[in-house]
């Protein structure tokens, strides 16, 4: 028989998924997780197999108000949050923040714009094999980039910021994949940071695409406001001869003094200006689904093998951005880069849309 009220109802963590919180409560009290899950959930009214949380039951069990629980647990909010602004898969957060939450691993559903725990200087994105232990003490510009990222969010909202930062990350990965003399001074920074996070000779143990993402993050965040800005998007769409201002701004942000428009798609910035600047921001391909993602997924064997191959071949000074370009974290913007070109159409009633 389960108690109606737990003697030690620890609080939930911010953005924790309900299954993680209930699992920790069960562990702390020596209870069976399935039994506690059943006590706090009901079958969904539509008759499916899925069970949904009853906030009042969790409130009664913990002695905490529904309002207090919903402040930390997004699944308990009414109305439901816009799940598109969260990563679709739950993941661990900062392991140092988690030490104050007993009862086992804390699994969270994290918004797209959270890449760094600025308090503990830990890299927390994307979900990857390194267990979120990547310390950024020696790379304060990555922590600073998270603060700049939040300023972009406040100015443009989550959807434009999501698209701009991921697109900028893809562009940085593509630049880092070009021959050495074509990717500007940012490359020197990428090599330097990569040597800190993946010290030479240790790639077999330290390599992860999450760390490559951290390496390129400051330049991605420097580039993103330009990709998000309506003014610069307009400038980017002007004719080749009239793009001087846009090119100069790119050169300044990427410390790439010789940057100029190139009339081929090998230059990812020219490709963005020619093909993508006129398109609306993308929604994430996949959105959090409470039915299928109650727990964080384990890294698949195929993914682990791919990472081992990439680690073996890793050389930060030679086209090292390729694994970042191909990583699933950038899938939304990567697919668009290879999309058929769509035509911008304005209908008679004034609505603007894109047509294949
Ligand atoms: Zn932390």
128-138 pLDDT, tens digit each:
655 557 899 99
Q: Answer whether residue 87 shows pLDDT above 80.
A: yes
34 Cα to the center of ligand 1, angstroms: 30
β-pairing, 107-108 vs 116-117, is unpaired
pLDDT, position 228: 95
228 Cα to the center of ligand 1, angstroms: 28
CB burial readout 62-85, b (16+ within 10 A) else e: bebebeebbebbbbbeeeeeebeb
353 Cα to the center of ligand 1, angstroms: 42
Average pLDDT over residues 89-117: 92
123 Cα to the center of ligand 1, angstroms: 9
Contact 14, 20 (CB under 8 A): no
183 Cα to the center of ligand 1, angstroms: 33
pLDDT, position 13: 97
205 Cα to the center of ligand 1, angstroms: 23
99 Cα to the center of ligand 1, angstroms: 9
Q: Answer whether residue 303 shows pLDDT above 80.
A: no
208 Cα to the center of ligand 1, angstroms: 20
131 Cα to the center of ligand 1, angstroms: 13
118 Cα to the center of ligand 1, angstroms: 7
- State how far the alpha carbon of 299 is from the alpha carbons of 213, 214, 289, in Å: 18, 19, 18
Average pLDDT over residues 287-301: 59
Q: Answer whether residue 187 shows pLDDT above 70.
A: yes
Cα separation, 269 vs 220, whole angstroms: 12
Instruction: Please state the domain extents for the chain.
Output: 1-81, 140-355
- Least Cα distance to 279 among 355, 347, 226, 222 occurs for 355
pLDDT > 90 fraction of the chain, expressed in percent and rounded? 48
322 Cα to the center of ligand 1, angstroms: 30
CA atoms within 13 A on the CB side of 156: 24
Predicted TM-score of the model (pTM) = 0.86
Average pLDDT over residues 9-22: 95
**Token reading at 249:** 């701004």
Q: Answer whether residue 294 shows pLDDT above 60.
A: no
Q: Answer whether residue 268 shows pLDDT above 70.
A: yes
pLDDT, position 352: 45
50 Cα to the center of ligand 1, angstroms: 33
148 Cα to the center of ligand 1, angstroms: 18
Cα separation, 182 vs 173, whole angstroms: 13
* Strand runs labelled E in the chain: 41-43, 51-53, 91-92, 107-108, 116-117, 122-123, 343-346, 352-355
3-state secondary structure of 302: helix
194 Cα to the center of ligand 1, angstroms: 22
């Amino acid at each position: 028989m389960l108690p109606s009220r737990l003697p030690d109802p620890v609080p939930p963590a911010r953005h924790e998924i309900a299954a993680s919180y209930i699992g920790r409560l069960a562990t702390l009290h020596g209870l069976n997780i399935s039994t506690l899950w059943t006590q706090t959930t009901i079958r969904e009214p539509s008759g499916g197999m899925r069970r949904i949380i009853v906030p009042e039951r969790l409130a009664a069990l913990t002695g905490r108000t529904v309002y207090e629980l919903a402040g930390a647990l997004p699944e308990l909010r009414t109305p439901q949050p816009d799940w598109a602004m969260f990563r679709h898969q739950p993941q661990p957060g900062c392991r140092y923040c988690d030490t104050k939450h007993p009862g086992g691993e804390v699994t969270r559903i994290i918004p797209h714009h959270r890449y760094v725990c600025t308090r503990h200087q830990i890299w927390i994105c994307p979900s990857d094999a390194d267990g979120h232990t990547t310390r950024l003490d020696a790379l304060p510009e990555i922590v600073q980039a998270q603060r700049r990222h939040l300023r972009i969010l406040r100015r443009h909202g989550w959807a434009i910021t999501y698209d701009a930062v991921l697109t900028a990350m893809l562009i940085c990965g593509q630049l880092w994949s070009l021959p050495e003399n074509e990717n500007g001074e940012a490359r020197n920074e990428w090599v330097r940071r990569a040597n800190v996070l993946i010290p030479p000779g240790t790639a077999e143990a330290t390599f992860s695409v999450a760390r490559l993402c951290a390496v390129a993050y400051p330049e991605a965040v420097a580039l993103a406001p330009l990709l998000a800005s309506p003014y610069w998007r307009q400038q980017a769409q002007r004719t080749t001869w009239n793009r001087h201002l846009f090119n100069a701004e790119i050169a300044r942000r990427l410390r790439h003094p010789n940057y100029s428009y190139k009339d081929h798609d090998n230059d990812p910035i020219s490709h963005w200006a020619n093909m993508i600047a006129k398109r609306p921001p993308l929604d994430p391909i996949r959105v959090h689904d409470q039915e299928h993602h109650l727990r964080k997924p384990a890294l698949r064997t195929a993914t682990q093998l791919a990472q081992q191959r990439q680690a073996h071949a890793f050389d930060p000074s030679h086209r090292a951005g390729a694994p970042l370009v191909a990583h699933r974290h950038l899938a939304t913007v990567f697919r668009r880069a290879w999309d058929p070109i769509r035509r911008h159409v304005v209908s008679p009633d004034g609505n603007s849309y894109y047509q294949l």
